[in-house]
Structure 1
Amino acid sequence: MTVDIGRDPVTNKRKQKELSGFKTKREAEKAAAALITEVEEGTFVQEKNVTFGDFVKTWLETYKKSGVKMSTIRVREHESGRLTKYFENMKMKDITHKMYQDAINDLKTNGRLSHNTISGVHSTGKMIFSKAVELKVIKADPTQFAKLPRKLTTVEELEQEEEVVKYLEKGELALLLKTAQEQGFQQDYPIFLILAYSGMRAGELCALRWSDLDMDEHTISITKTYYNPSNRAQEFYLLTPKTKRSKRKIDVEPIVIEALKQHRTWQKELMMKYRKTYYKGDFVFTRTDPLNVGYPIYIRTIENHMRRLLKLAGLNESLTPHSLRHTHTSLLAEASVGLQEIMERLGHKDDNTTRNVYLHVTKEKKKEASQKFGELMRSI
């Protein structure tokens, strides 16, 4: 059965759509009537034959020009690539809701991806198909109403779960810093001191320049973060902070300023030694190998050095530089600093982990206050 769907706006020739594959004449007539209604109401979409793989390539090129950060683009490329494995050569219009849901489920069962990873893939999928609907490549969005698979936790598993506190206690932090000062590599002590005393992210520390420091006012301005997807020292990028609130100025203790001054003295000697090749980027913490001297230090280097120090100190080796951010939170909470002030210092509006660490510490302090009050009353 053939249905007239209007005229081509360029050639003014009549356009027709062939309907086929129906078991009965009545089914064909119902489909034709529905199509005519769509044409008359202006809701008809002439779906195109573009494949998923080709559409994603076009979408990514447009997405790159939308002003998003390079790191975000890289994430979208990676996530769309996971969907491309399922749909690359399929026409966009042929991808059904069930096909999409099956792909999402397969990422969990066979891909063994985490819930957060699958959630990211799904977010990218929604962006792709939403754009396809907007451009009238497809009529319906197969991602609509798709559900993310979740692992069902039994009561027994929930009861057996142990809370893993990903931060150092005050005495443990002191031991880590002492180990860094006495057994660490050249830049270890000021690196881990500043991470612990400021709560900044490792990427923010790698991007830190001397011009960001005010030695007189004892402040550090955090305005950028380090990004190096290729892991080549000279191919790094300085990006805007993670969020708008990540741009901030924080006060630090005199001990941090003093350590930075001593570090600066050592760095000047390094600059003189390699004065012909030293990369003059004004970075506070840099690589020291002759070929890349002066370029920002790798985040991975900081992680490796921390693992070494934790082992030397006999501390939990699973902790990371980000754990020092949580350590900073716990110590501020112990010092009775409010959650809002801590959030502002860390540079984010809200964060469940930070909130949980804060509540954990303050809960213990409340218990301690109650115990002290009880002891006081018993002494009367």
Structure 2
Amino acid sequence: MFSREYKGKWRFGKRYKDPLTDKWRTVTVPAERNTRHTRNEAQVALDKMIREKLASITGEHNRNRQMTLGELYDTYWNEKKDSWRINSRRTYRNSYKIFFNNFSRDAKLSKLTSLMLTNHFDNMISEVQKKQKNKSYKGSCNIRTINGLKIYYARVSMMFNYAVRKQFIKESPFKGVHIAWPKESHRSLIEQKYLDEDELKILLDYFRKVKPDFADIFEWQYLTGMRFGEAASLYPKDIDLKEKVVHVTGTLLYDVGPKKSYVKQDMPKTDSSYRAIALSDRAIEIYKEHAKGKKQKDFLFTDKDSCPYSVQHANEDLKIFRGKHDFGKIITTHTFRHTHVSKLAELGVPLYVIQHNVGHSNSKITREVYLHVTKKAQQELRNKLNKM
């Protein structure tokens, strides 16, 4: 390290070799005076500057110290967040919040073992199973299904795959994680995802009495296959009465904050989500009822304060409904999309048309519900033919 004085001010500097050009570069920091204390401070600051410059060139993390889980997350989040749609960021952030409720941000990345992660996910599986047996059991997080737990597993493992790619660690601790995922009846799992006609009627009748607006939004989802956020963000101008279609061009953007801050994000969840959906006469009735007195760029479905509803609000009310009417099924706002799929499959509508309606270019769940319903219909037909 060298020092220079100019007009009563000091500047400390240090040289380093650029690994790409083999040329020497210089970094400097200013100081008010030249003392042992300021020299030590300058040394620390210069070393940090050189580490950061070298890391920006090589992409390698400083190997002279251990990266923490918190540092990994911050690096990963800052690089990846802009590639995720804003509403998706919230679900990712929730997954990492659960992870850090179990693992300290200060924990050393290299110290995390496969056994620690295996034990963590085994405990999570046990917790989910307790929730499925006892609806009142809350547990340590909001994951209530094995499928939800698998999504959580995938998101956390992605962060560690990133750490390997960036050479923060040589090998992901997930490589040695082997989870004994519970085996569940595939048929029962699929049937849990949608409602039959009687169940749908009970649900809509319930909400017509306690919250008519939600009854209309849920029925709208059932009739169109739209996501709740897509329906909640609709403007009257998005509906074309002449062509009898609704144009899906965005989703509701909300996060922690007052409901008056909710705005429409002019992009749906995925690129395939941009679509026009044919409207039934009943859907047009719902539209006309909610469009009364509203301008073209007002939200269509609103509360008494003219604010759109959030999906959290809707799911909280659905949770209350489940406490009163236990169908033994998963009931969230997504249930009405799956019910839309099941009904169209029952009517013999081609899969590609259904995928268009729900905005999925390739959805495993949509395909599974479709195949399950059509196979069930074929079996029922076979049983009837045997009675002829």
Q: Which TM-score applies when normalising by structure 1?
A: 0.68
1:167 aligns with 2:194: yes
2:151 aligns to what?
116
1:283 aligns with 2:283: no
Partners of 1:57 and 1:207 in 2: how far apart?
Answer: 31
Partners of 1:159 and 1:314 in 2: how far apart?
Answer: 19
Deviates more, 1:246-255 or 1:359-368: 359-368
1:343 aligns with 2:358: no
**Cα distance change on mapping 1:263 and 1:91 into 2, 3 Å:** closer
**Which amino acid counterpart does residue 217 of structure 2 have in structure 1?**
I
Partners of 2:288 and 2:188 in 1: how far apart?
Answer: 43
Segments of structure 1 that go 5 or more residues without pairing to the other structure are 1-5, 14-41, 272-279
Aligned pairs for 1:194-273 within 5 A: 194-230=220-256, 232-239=258-265, 240-265=267-292, 268=294
Structure 2 counterpart of 1:353, from 365, 373, 382: 365
Instruction: Please state how far the C-alpha of 1:86 moved relative to its aligned partner.
Output: 4.5
1:371 aligns with 2:388: no
Is the 2:114–2:173 Cα contact (8 Å) retained in structure 1? Answer: no
Partners of 1:125 and 1:178 in 2: how far apart?
Answer: 47
**Cα distance change on mapping 1:72 and 1:128 into 2, 3 Å:** farther
3-state SS of 1:337 partner? coil
Instruction: Please state how far the C-alpha of 1:180 moved relative to its aligned partner.
Output: 4.3
1:141 aligns to what?
170
Q: Percent identity?
A: 23
1:27 aligns to what?
none
1:151 aligns with 2:168: no
Instruction: Please state how far the C-alpha of 1:248 moved relative to its aligned partner.
Output: 1.1
Instruction: Please state how far the C-alpha of 1:193 moved relative to its aligned partner.
Output: 2.2
Is the 1:330–1:357 Cα contact (8 Å) retained in structure 2? Answer: yes
Is the 2:233–2:299 Cα contact (8 Å) retained in structure 1? Answer: yes
3-state SS of 1:49 partner? coil
Q: In the TM superposition, what whole-angstrom CA distance separates every residue of 1:7-42 from its partner, at most 9, and x where no partner exists?
A: 6645489xxxxxxxxxxxxxxxxxxxxxxxxxxxx9
Q: In the TM superposition, what whole-angstrom CA distance separates every residue of 1:105-154 from its partner, at most 9, and x where no partner exists?
A: 242145557333122111122123423x2xxxx4x53217714431255x
Structure 1 counterpart of 2:115, from 76, 99, 102: 102
**Cα distance change on mapping 1:314 and 1:263 into 2, 3 Å:** farther
3-state SS of 2:282 partner? helix
Partners of 2:271 and 2:371 in 1: how far apart?
Answer: 25
3-state SS of 1:105 partner? helix
Over aligned residue pairs, what C-alpha RMSD do you find? 3.8
Instruction: Please state how far the C-alpha of 1:179 moved relative to its aligned partner.
Output: 4.7
Q: In the TM superposition, what whole-angstrom CA distance separates every residue of 1:140-177 from its partner, at most 9, and x where no partner exists?
A: 53217714431255xxx767995553322224334444
| Bigger Rg, which one | 1
1:47 aligns to what?
63
Partners of 1:146 and 1:226 in 2: how far apart?
Answer: 38
1:37 aligns to what?
none
Partners of 1:357 and 1:67 in 2: how far apart?
Answer: 30
Partners of 2:119 and 2:262 in 1: how far apart?
Answer: 35
Partners of 1:295 and 1:217 in 2: how far apart?
Answer: 28
**Which amino acid counterpart does residue 294 of structure 1 have in structure 2?**
S
Segments of structure 2 that go 5 or more residues without pairing to the other structure are 1-15, 27-57, 128-148
3-state SS of 1:321 partner? coil
Partners of 2:219 and 2:25 in 1: how far apart?
Answer: 73
Structure 2 counterpart of 1:188, from 195, 214, 222: 214
Is the 2:115–2:177 Cα contact (8 Å) retained in structure 1? Answer: no
The alignment covers a number of residue pairs equal to: 312
**Cα distance change on mapping 1:296 and 1:312 into 2, 3 Å:** same
Instruction: Please state how far the C-alpha of 1:346 moved relative to its aligned partner.
Output: 1.0
Partners of 1:109 and 1:361 in 2: how far apart?
Answer: 33
2:37 aligns to what?
none
